[in-house]
């Protein structure tokens, strides 16, 4: 089983729509969670960190459900500029190897005019 799993999409939504992505992780000991945004042929950039039950930043809301081991990202009032790939990242502390970052394959979003 993969450490982090995401629906690859693609998600094609009209401007102004609300869209949600889910991400599941396999290790219940995972402690911190991140959403990164990656534009085509660019590096991943941190969008949000999720340490407790959730985090909100403007149109973006991330929620964490530890019992079900999933993280979600909600984007409200989608803009054309939101078109990108969204990476789910999980940080897990392994007793021998220390903290490890695990990346999902990413979910592709295209916002259509």
Partner 1 sequence: ETGVTQTPRHLVMGMTNKKSLKCEQHLGHNAMYWYKQSAKKPLELMFVYSLEERVENNSVPSRFSPECPNSSHLFLHLHTLQPEDSALYLCASSQDRASSYNEQFFGPGTRLTVL
Stretch that binds partner 1, among 16-24, 38-46, 63-71, 72-80 (CB under 8 A): 38-46
Backbone angles phi and psi of 82, in degrees to 5: -80, -10
Q: List the x/- string, 77-96, binding to partner 1 by CB under 8 A.
A: ----------x-x-xxx---
Of residues 14, 2, 10, the one with CA closest to residue 79? 14
Cβ closest to partner 1, residue 46 vs residue 112? 46
Of residues 70, 66, 74, the one with CA closest to residue 4? 70
CA distances from 25 to 10, 75, 78, 80 (A): 20, 21, 26, 29
If binding is defined by CB under 8 A, does position 42 make contact with partner 1? yes
If binding is defined by CB under 8 A, does position 101 make contact with partner 1? yes
* Interface ranges with partner 1 (CB under 8 A): 4, 31-32, 34, 41-46, 49, 51, 87, 89, 91-93, 97-101, 103-106
């Amino acid at each position: 089983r993969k450490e982090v799993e995401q629906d690859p999409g693609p998600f094609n939504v009209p401007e102004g729509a609300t869209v949600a992505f889910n991400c599941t992780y396999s290790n219940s000991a995972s402690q911190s969670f991140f959403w990164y945004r990656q534009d085509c042929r660019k590096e991943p950039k941190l969008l949000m960190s999720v340490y407790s039950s959730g985090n909100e930043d403007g149109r973006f809301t991330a929620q964490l459900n530890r019992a079900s081991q999933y993280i979600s990202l909600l984007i409200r009032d989608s803009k054309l500029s939101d078109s990108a790939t969204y990476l789910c990242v999980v940080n897990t502390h392994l007793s021998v190897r220390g903290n490890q970052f695990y990346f999902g394959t990413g979910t592709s979003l295209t916002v259509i005019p």
